[in-house]
Chain A
């Protein structure tokens, strides 16, 4: 029956009513300003893109996760499941004449089925930065420092940035010389920190005892910088050692910025290792069982769009941030209107002029409009906690009332 859903919303999307919307926008405004002041330029890409942008590249996004549409020519379109890939498309195809490095940021919605664990949203508001054209640790440290600074500015308490490096695991896999499928099995178990199953699987594989022991240690290599020392002791492959060196360099820069205490490490963080090519990180806070932000280095993606550029960046989940801030009691109420203006019919012009002047002084003003529910402006002001009522009358000048609550 058509019409039976007219009062409902599809799964995974939500309305932002004024109180939440006010805080969401406030956070987004702060983020936008912070990214802008950090020398990044905002970029906007369409919500509709061709399926190929996300599926026809390596690494790709699984087709099960995308909202698809068909255009009149029969081509498959998607609601963008991610913004980093469209930015890579833009950078690869349109920004050749911009000097490097490119510093770009965005705020916008992405759309996905499933995958976004917990708070099962399908329309997800994100904000993020991409720093393209620099492959050194300074670039990784820059974006991680931005995430930390942003959380500090937003007064998010008790957060931590957990850093990993996917090349460490890749180095082990290469050294072991095992098949892609075996590597994937090992990756899953390391990611789950499933020691027992990992031990059983490693027993079966024909790889050297040394590599087995290192792989077996991997799920436990999380915590403070001591784990880096341990990892360095047990690593032989140049690729693994280079990965650790890289973490040390990034960590060193972050310590120079005074951010050392926000950093922890997890070499067993191998979840999205197809996408990332170096440092990866996640922002976590006590209030939330899943990360607030995530990012890392992805040096291969842009070449899929015709330009070989190293890149790093991160994205923040705005809703997750809102939940965490709410749980920490950091959300704000919408401030009441400052002045309620009541005008007699003939004085409308004067009242309007008066209101414009107040707005110029950054005051919130509202014209009183009588309704069935409230006919008296003073009662209305009390109800809406408006501290000042100004009546513009024909004979007298202006009558002011201070309202007590």
Chain B
């Protein structure tokens, strides 16, 4: 049996779509329920629902063999995993954002306060640039931090940019682009090679069909 960890929230619906298209019967997951563990009818696959930031943990420990999770979470958690497929959905950008008028001053200021849900990504990014920053870890509504004066800038993911705009913030720097990834435990790939390879191949086929669909 292969266990797949799915990130609840933003990515879940599309993750289920991809799995279904790849032949994994996720019918049970679509019914309203508070259950956290599901089995496909043939009992070949177990799906567990976890918080996005916990997906890499479950996969690294080998409790889940496979996980579907955003690249932002992978970068933040920095776990030792195989990152085998870019699933292409959940696309967004990881950016530094702030007030446009502060753009010049914050770059030159020696001590910048950065509010973010991604303290590790933010710390690495600014340290690579040789910039001293104070990281303020928040758990949500990060845009509020510069508005209320808690921080000078934020590091966060941006999909359309609407939330930023509505709050009068602009993108100051782009860190990288983000999408959902398929990750695999390093031992599972070897010990359950046949099952996992079949799953990966099926998902890859779905991705290629989708790509062809876009072109046509």
Contact = CB atoms under 8 A, between A and B. Distances in A.
A362 interface: no
A289 B188 contact: yes
A193 interface: yes
Nearest to A223: B193
A7 interface: no
A305 interface: no
A195 B84 contact: yes
A299 interface: no
A354 B87 CA distance: 74
B83 interface: yes
Contacts of B84: 193-195
Contacts of A160: 190-191
A118 B190 contact: no
Contacts of B79: 117
A264 B190 contact: yes
Interface-centre pick from B59, B60, B191 (highest chain A CB count, 10 A): B191
A140 interface: no
A289 B83 contact: no
Contacts of B193: 223
Interface in B134-178: none
Interface of B: 59-63, 79-86, 184-193
A117 B61 CA distance: 8
B191 A286 contact: yes
Interface in A157-198: 158, 160, 162, 192-197
Nearest to A292: B187
A291 interface: yes
Interface residues of A, number: 22
Q: Which 8 A-B pairs have the closest CB atoms?
A: A289-B62, A193-B82, A196-B86, A284-B187, A194-B83, A192-B83, A117-B80, A286-B191
B61 to A, nearest CB: 5
B190 A289 contact: no
Interface string A242-274: 000000000000000000000010100000000
A284 B60 contact: no
A158 B184 CA distance: 19
B190 A196 contact: no
A195 B186 CA distance: 15
B191 A290 contact: no
Nearest to A269: B186
Interface SS of chain B? mixed
B186 A290 contact: yes
B191 A158 contact: yes
B12 to A, nearest CB: 22
B187 A291 contact: yes
B200 to A, nearest CB: 10
Given A117-B80, A192-B81, A266 B190 contact: yes
A288 interface: yes
B62 A290 contact: yes
Contacts of A194: 82-84
A289 B63 contact: yes
A193 to B, nearest CB: 4
A54 interface: no
Nearest to B187: A284
Contact of A284 (B63, B80, B85, B190): B190
A257 B62 CA distance: 31
A194 B84 CA distance: 5
Interface string A271-299: 00000000000001110111100000000
A196 B63 contact: no
A284 B81 CA distance: 15
A288 B62 contact: yes
B57 to A, nearest CB: 9
A192 B182 CA distance: 12
A284 B61 contact: no
Contact of A118 (B61, B83, B86): B61
Nearest to B63: A289
Contacts of B188: 289
Nearest to A222: B190
Interface-centre pick from A196, A222, A264 (highest chain B CB count, 10 A): A196
Given A286-B191, A290-B62, A196 B186 contact: no
Contacts of A291: 187
A285 B185 CA distance: 12
A289 B61 contact: yes
A118 B193 CA distance: 21
6 contacts: A194-B83, A222-B190, A264-B190, A290-B60, A290-B186, A290-B187
A131 to B, nearest CB: 25
Contacts of B190: 160, 162, 222, 264, 266, 284
Interface string A291-315: 1000000000000000000000000
A136 B148 CA distance: 67
A160 B187 CA distance: 10
Nearest to B181: A194
B86 A289 contact: no
A5 B61 CA distance: 29
Nearest to B80: A117
A290 B63 CA distance: 11
B90 to A, nearest CB: 15
Given A117-B79, A192-B81, A196-B85, A285 B62 contact: no
Interface-centre pick from B79, B186, B188 (highest chain A CB count, 10 A): B186
Contacts of A285: 187, 191
B4 to A, nearest CB: 14
Interface string A374-389: 0000000000000000
Nearest to B58: A289
Contacts of A284: 187, 190-191
